[in-house]
Structure 1
Amino acid sequence: MKLGARMLKTGFAITVALYIAQMFGLAAATYAGIAAAFAVQPNIHRSFQTMLEQIYANLFGVSFGALVVFGFGNDPIVIGLTIIIVIGLCMYFHLTENTITLAILAVLAVMETTEMMLITFAGFRFSALLIGILSASLINMLFLPPKYELRLFKSIDRVTSDILQWLRISTRHLSDDPALRTEIDRIQAEVRIIDNTYLLFSEERIYRKKLRLPKMRKLIIFRQMINTSKRSLATLEAFHQYDDKVENIPKEFQNVLVDELDKIIYSHERLLLSAMGKIKKDPTRSIEDITDPDISHLVQTLIDVYEKDDKDRLALLPLAARLMEYHKETLHLQRILNSYQKFHDDLDFNFKKKRKNRRIIPTLF
């Protein structure tokens, strides 16, 4: 089992919250640990946002629970009705599930049977929950900050390599159908994870004005890299769907189809390598010229083939359309990458770790 940063931060936050609660002599130290567990978030922005939400929910839960206890007591039926009202109000204000859970915890904490004065008891419970929230937020910001940019590029590069490998195999009719279907399902799941990672990376705030513009441009490039990979995956799915028909058409079209797809794949690979700074840059151009696929020639060849035979006329035009869409996304990626390298030539995506008096070794992807 691999221990992730969020798992470590959760355990560390709970430990810190319990120590602080015990240091202040709070009898409800456990509540501080529980609150800390719910407050850890995947990035700093969400951590700060959640901290504010949970402080409000904690204050509301404690105050509302104290009023109910003062007016109606703490009978289990009263507690249950109070929690229903609290959940409804939290949902009305569109609070997150963890925040709602913490609000419920605050109600239960303050409505617990005790011989202590209600105001004092509520204050101790509120303090314990607040310590947990603040401890988790502080740990989340300072301890093992997430590196979503590195994770995102690695994921895109790995998934794209898998897709392009299977495309080469499929066009030559070497793929096993069940194995390819399994791989497509796996890649689709990884693409969904990439979308979520991109969302987390886009939520990260840049407070230095100098780095804000490069970050925005990187977001655009990452978004286009993801879109291009999705188009390549759609092309792979199309080849999987039309594999039998492609195999039975004349060799003339098969050869043109493989040649044009290989050009697009080559272009896609060159762009990723250029983004990593692994291709030499010409002084007058940021990216070397790439082979330009002739999709119109592919479509014309397909039409010529089917003019000789009316059987399943133009059944493979959807496949040609997928190739056209894939090529279009590749060209768009080339344009925005050219623009980025023009203005930020020293900020590529190779993530090199510069160390003094040591040789710079590029990260392998």
Structure 2
Amino acid sequence: MSLGPRVLKTGLAVVLALYITIWLGLEPPVFAAIAATFTIQPSIYRSWKQVLEQIQANTLGAIIALSSIYLFGNNPIVIGVVMVIVIIISLKLKMEGSISLTLITVLFMMSSPEFEGIITAANKFIIVLVGMGSAFIVNIIISPPNYNKNFTEKMDISFRSMSLLIRTAISNELTERTFQAQWAKLKKDISKLEDLYKILDEEREKISRVKPLDVREIIVFKQMLASLQHGLKLLDIIEDHFFQSRPEVEHTREFDNHLEYLIDYHEMILLKFAGKIKDIEGADEDYALDETGQFLEAIISETSYEREHKLRLVIIGSAIFDYAFQLERLNDLIDQYQKKKQHVEKSTLSSILKNPRTFLKR
């Protein structure tokens, strides 16, 4: 794990929890620190959701623990049975993420050799709540990372890895060791992108007041991710079928050239989104999709291969067509997003020019 914002926020939440419990005279403060560690989350929405879930689960766990102490005592067998019951109930209520802290709360409540009364039990429960509250406060005060920027940066890194793999998938120029390392890295990067997208989607949907432009941006991010996922799927299919189909040299060159063309097109689309190049010529006429459709039709009409080998090539051709379709959709969505963005910027500028005093007052 790298030293990022979440690591620092965890440390600050622990410090805050310890200071608050010491200031309130609650003992032992270490359980507040443990609760803070389990509650910290990468975004405000997830932190809020986690706190609500933790409060519900821990309240339920505390009630079960107190009831068990009153009825059966707190010998090791009773504690073990209570732990099992708490796990089962948490799973039934779909609170899997709160199980760890709830079990710690139950152990904390039942840890004394003798039951010391409801006041002591309440004191222990408050300690856990202080830890959860401290984590939530830190998450609100300290701004979360710029997930939009992180997403686009990680997208660029993932695309470069995929570009290398697709450009060399047919020509087989990479060593097996390098290919496998790059492939594993790409899968890991795409998995991180999926997590980032989920956070972005949650924040926009649950916390922020979503503007139409923001919704379009999220849709673009979703399609960027889908394009990468289909590129990865294409690589899997090429690995499984291409060389087993025993292609002729001429057809190998055609596959290689068309993949080169599509990966160049993918790169141009991403550069256009970043504002580094002008519009792509021919994009409005679905040029890439038409070219790939003709390429697939040529594969289907080929008669020089055995049935099994031809079917393998058709599978690859279909995956290439699917990848081209995702790229064309991405290009269209980016066009719509940028046109809307330009319209909003022009409208804002026009409003400022018409009412400069109103703007200055703001």
Q: Which bracket does the TM-score occupy, shorter chain normalised?
A: 0.7 to 0.9
Match of 2:303 among 301, 307, 317: 307
TM-score, normalised to structure 1, is 0.83
Contact 1:228 1:333 in 2 (8 A): yes
261-270 or 239-248, which deviates more:
239-248
The counterpart of 2:276, out of the listed 275, 278, 281, is: 278
Q: How far has the Cα of 1:117 moved from its partner?
A: 4.3
Residue of structure 2 equivalent to 1:324? 321
Listed one character per residue, the Cα deviations across residues 101-121 of structure 1 (whole Å, up to 9, x for unaligned) are: 222222222223267841110
Equivalent positions of 1:1-365 (< 5 A) are 2-97=2-97, 99-113=98-112, 117-205=116-204, 207=207, 209=209, 211-244=210-243, 248-251=247-250, 253-280=251-278, 288-290=281-283, 292=288, 294-302=291-299, 306-308=302-304, 314=310, 315-345=312-342
Query: What are the ranges of 5 or more consecutive residues in structure 1 without an aligned counterpart?
Result: 282-286, 349-365
Please identify runs of 4+ aligned residues in structure 1 that moved more than 6 A: none
Residue deviations 1:139-187, cap 9 Å, x none? 1222241322222221222111221122223344423234323322331
Contact 1:66/1:118 (<8 A) preserved: no
Structure 2 distance, partners of 1:220, 1:4, is 27
Deviations along 1:187-221, one digit per CA (max 9) or x if unpaired, are: 12322222122112211146554x43223222211
SS in 1 for 2:89: helix
CA–CA distance in structure 2, aligned partners of residues 88 and 239 of structure 1: 45
Offset at residue 303 of structure 1 (A): 5.3
2:353 alignment counterpart: none
Aligned partner of 1:333: which letter?
A: L
| Greater mean deviation of Cα atoms: 293-302 or 123-132 | 293-302
In the superposition, relative to structure 1, how do residues 255 and 66 fare at CA in structure 2: closer, same or farther (>3 Å)? Answer: closer
Letter in 2 for 1:46: R
| Aligned counterpart, 1:284 | none
Q: Tell me the distance in 1 between the aligned counterparts of 2:96 and 2:325.
A: 39
Aligned to 2:275, the other structure's residue is in SS state: coil
Q: Deviations over 1:85-132 (max 9, x none)?
A: 2222222211124x2222222222222326784111012101111100
Q: Distance in 2 between matches of 1:179 and 1:213?
A: 43
Q: In 2, are the aligned partners of 1:170 and 1:239 still within 8 Å (CA)?
A: yes
The offset of 1:225, in angstroms, is 0.8
Contact 1:35–1:129 (8 Å) recurs in 2: yes
Aligned pair count? 339
TM-score by length of 2: 0.84
Take 1:216 and 1:109, find their aligned partners in 2: how far apart are those partners? 45
- CA shift at 1:246, angstroms? 7.5
Q: What percent identity do the matched residue pairs reach?
A: 27
Aligned residues: CA RMSD: 2.7
- Do the aligned partners of residues 347 and 11 (structure 1) sit closer, same or farther apart at CA in structure 2, a change above 3 Å counting? farther
Separation of aligned partners in 2, 1:243 and 1:112: 63
Partner-residue secondary structure (3-state), 2:224: helix
Shift of 1:301: 4.0
Q: Residues 79 and 276 (structure 1 numbering): CA distance in 2 closer, same or farther, change over 3 Å?
A: same
The alpha-carbon deviation at position 64 of structure 1 amounts to 2.7
Deviates more, 1:99-108 or 1:9-18: 99-108
Alpha-carbon distance in structure 2 between the residues aligned to 1:167 and 1:49: 40
The answer to which structure has the higher helix fraction is 2
| Counterpart-to-counterpart distance in 2, 1:245 and 1:125 | 65
Change in Cα spacing, 1:241 to 1:175, as seen in structure 2 (3 Å) is farther
Between the aligned partners of 2:188 and 2:278, the Cα distance in structure 1 is 34
Q: Answer yes or no: is the 8 Å Cα contact 1:173–1:243 preserved in 2.
A: no
Structure 2 residue runs of 5 or longer lacking an equivalent are: 346-362
Q: What is the Cα deviation at residue 44 of structure 1? A: 1.3
Q: CA deviation at 1:8?
A: 1.5
Checking the alignment, whether the CA contact within 8 Å between 2:213 and 2:341 is kept in structure 1 is yes
- The alpha-carbon deviation at position 331 of structure 1 amounts to 0.8
